Amino acid sequence: MLRVIRIVKVGKVCDSLQVVALTLLISKNALFLLVFLLCEGILVFSTFVYYAEQPNSYFAVQDQTWYTYRADGEVVASKFQSIPGCFWWAVVTMTTVGYGDVIPNSLLGRLVGMCTMFSGVLAVALPTMLVGNNLEVAKSKFISMRNRAQRRKWRLSTSNPNPNDDCGDRQSSSPSSCMEQFASQWVPAPTLRSKLWCLLEPGTPKPNVRYVYGCYVCAVVLAFLILTSLISFCCSTLTSVYANRVHGAFWNKAIYMIEEITLTLFWLELIVRFICCPDRKAFVSDLLNLVDFFAV
């Protein structure tokens, strides 16, 4: 099987494949946006269709399976057994492939399916357009890189080696220097309240480089907590876990502890941000803060 992968060596002698690879490299932000939109849509619409099919279904404790009523009155095993089990349906529907192996039976589930299709078209079309626009940029950059390599080879062949001379095409800039330049234009935060606000709110001005890195660390930790909470929420809809809940054990101990810890940290983060914010009226009226409050 690994022999097939050797076909990528053709890219060394094919300029078109190199341009495509450079296009994908330049478009990494657009591709990341595509993956993020698809993952977010898959999670959201899987949750919606799972609960949309619940009123038309019942859970059999004996075999730990959800059963649903079809339009003709026949009782069959539901295709939407859990939120992770709905991921396949969400992927097929968002990409408008539509195999037809998993379809919702209720009217509400079909409405969710329509919204999933339209959202999938937008989520795929917008980043794809950005990748297409970067094709010309990658082509011109590839030609420029090839011309610089040819000039460097000619200088070496004429006994005038100067590999660092790229005819003014190279500009040296490191991420750390850019971050220092970004942070140097802000005034240091004098109080503990403003310092915490700088760390917890990514869009605020940062007094120095340490606050920039600290804000990144806080954002990564918060994203990890959100993903952990979403994973535990999806796992709680698995049929085996749901069966334990029916028998009296609400969740198993691990999922329950994860929910308690993440919920406590989310409350703490929201309260600290509310106390430290400079304008509490604007904080309360912000849509994302309202989403955080109702989610917690």
Contact residues for 213 (Cβ-Cβ < 8 A; gap 6+) = 179
Distance of alpha carbon 244 from alpha carbon 250, whole angstroms: 7
Asked if the model's pLDDT at residue 111 lies above 90, the reply is yes
223, part of any domain: yes
123, part of any domain: yes
Least confident segment among 2-6, 20-24, 132-136, 150-154: 2-6
193, part of any domain: no
Asked if the model's pLDDT at residue 165 lies above 90, the reply is no
Q: What is the CATH number of the domain that holds 93?
A: 1.10.287.70
47, part of any domain: yes
Average pLDDT across the chain, whole number: 76
Phi, psi torsion values for 293, nearest 5 degrees: -65, -50
> What's the chain's Rg over C-alpha atoms?
27
Asked if the model's pLDDT at residue 234 lies above 70, the reply is yes
Name the band, by pLDDT with cuts 50, 70 and 90, for residue 166.
Answer: very low
157, part of any domain: no
pLDDT (tens digit per residue) in 192-216:
888 888 888 876 776 777 777 888 8
- Token match 């994908």: residue? 24
Instruction: Indicate whether 35 and 119 sit together in one domain.
Output: yes
Tell me, what's the pLDDT at 180? Answer: 47
Name the band, by pLDDT with cuts 50, 70 and 90, for residue 92.
Answer: very high
Among residues 24, 251, 269, 1, the alpha carbon closest in space to that of 131 is found at 24
Instruction: Indicate whether 55 and 128 sit together in one domain.
Output: yes
Distance of alpha carbon 5 from alpha carbon 171, whole angstroms: 36
Asked if the model's pLDDT at residue 168 lies above 50, the reply is no
Counting residues of the chain whose pLDDT is more than 70, the rounded percentage is 75
Question: How far, in Å, are 26, 133, 164 from residue 235 at the CA level?
Answer: 37, 40, 55
106, part of any domain: yes
Instruction: Indicate whether 226 and 148 sit together in one domain.
Output: no
Instruction: Indicate whether 16 and 148 sit together in one domain.
Output: yes
Instruction: Indicate whether 107 and 215 sit together in one domain.
Output: no
Predicted TM-score (pTM) of the model is 0.64
Domain boundary (152, 181, 216) is at 152
Instruction: Indicate whether 90 and 211 sit together in one domain.
Output: no
Fill in the DSSP letter of residue 203. T
Pairing, β 57-60 against β 65-69: antiparallel
Tell me, what's the pLDDT at 171? Answer: 45
Domain count, the chain: 2
Number of residues that this document lists for the chain: 296
Contact residues for 17 (Cβ-Cβ < 8 A; gap 6+) = 10, 11
Asked if the model's pLDDT at residue 181 lies above 50, the reply is no
| Token output for 232 | 């535990």
230, part of any domain: yes
C-alpha torsion 88→94→97→101, nearest 10: 40
Tell me, what's the pLDDT at 8? Answer: 58
CB 137 within 8 A of CB 145: no
Q: Which domain, by its residues, includes 29?
A: 11-152
| Token output for 43 | 């999670």
Domain boundary (152, 187, 215) is at 152
182, part of any domain: no
Instruction: Indicate whether 16 and 82 sit together in one domain.
Output: yes
CB 83 within 8 A of CB 50: yes
Taking residues 3-16, report their average pLDDT.
57
Instruction: Map residue 75 onto helix, strand or coil.
Output: strand
Instruction: Indicate whether 220 and 113 sit together in one domain.
Output: no
Instruction: Indicate whether 15 and 147 sit together in one domain.
Output: yes
Name the band, by pLDDT with cuts 50, 70 and 90, for residue 14.
Answer: low
Taking residues 91-100, report their average pLDDT.
87
Tell me, what's the pLDDT at 242? Answer: 65
pLDDT (tens digit per residue) in 112-156:
999 999 999 888 888 888 888 888 888 888 788 777 766 775 665
Tell me, what's the pLDDT at 46? Answer: 92
Tell me, what's the pLDDT at 78? Answer: 85
Which has more confidence, 236 or 172?
Answer: 236
Domain boundary (152, 167, 195) is at 152
Asked if the model's pLDDT at residue 170 lies above 60, the reply is no
Which has more confidence, 171 or 233?
Answer: 233
